[in-house]
Amino acid sequence: MLLTFKQKQGIVSHISFLTDTNLGVSLMATACKDGGVIVLWDLNAKKIWAEMKKPHSERNISSVCFVPNEPVLVTASEDDNSIKMWLFEKGQSEPRLLRERAGHAEPPHKI
């Protein structure tokens, strides 16, 4: 075992890693299915780098995945029927929303 991390929000159900970028940091993103928070861990400093609180309108985060060799995190939520791309920029502590696609979050009443 090389490292151990503990997340307060519950049991981690999603994990992804970001390395080989010009950010100067290696990151691990973890999310709990019912936590509504994505925690970004600095693997070099062995501590929390940032927390993305409620990146989706609902609490459920269905998936987190870094795009290989790019400073981009893709998140998805079944509850709000959306997918979002977050861009990490050098010198910024939190990513910014790059793109977002969403469908109906509630059942349609009339089509």
CATH number at residue 53: 2.40.10.480
For residues 9 and 51, the model is more confident at 51
Nearest to 56 by CA among 14, 28, 92: 14
| pTM of the predicted structure, to 2 decimals | 0.84
Domain hosting residue 77, numbered range = 14-102
Nearest to 84 by CA among 68, 104, 62: 62
pLDDT in tens, 23-32: 888 899 998 8
Residue 89 has pLDDT above 80, yes or no: yes
The verdict on residue 73 lying in a domain is yes
Question: Helices (H), strands (E): how many in the chain?
Answer: 0, 8
The verdict on residue 3 lying in a domain is no
pLDDT, mean of residues 83-97: 90
The verdict on residue 6 lying in a domain is no
The verdict on residue 111 lying in a domain is no
Nearest to 41 by CA among 31, 32, 33: 31
The verdict on residue 107 lying in a domain is no
The verdict on residue 8 lying in a domain is no
Query: How much is the pLDDT for 110?
Result: 67
Lowest mean pLDDT among 18-27, 36-45, 70-79, 81-90: 18-27
Which residue intervals of 12-111 are DSSP H helices?
none
For residues 49 and 1, the model is more confident at 49
The verdict on residue 80 lying in a domain is yes
Q: How many domains does the chain have?
A: 1
The verdict on residue 108 lying in a domain is no
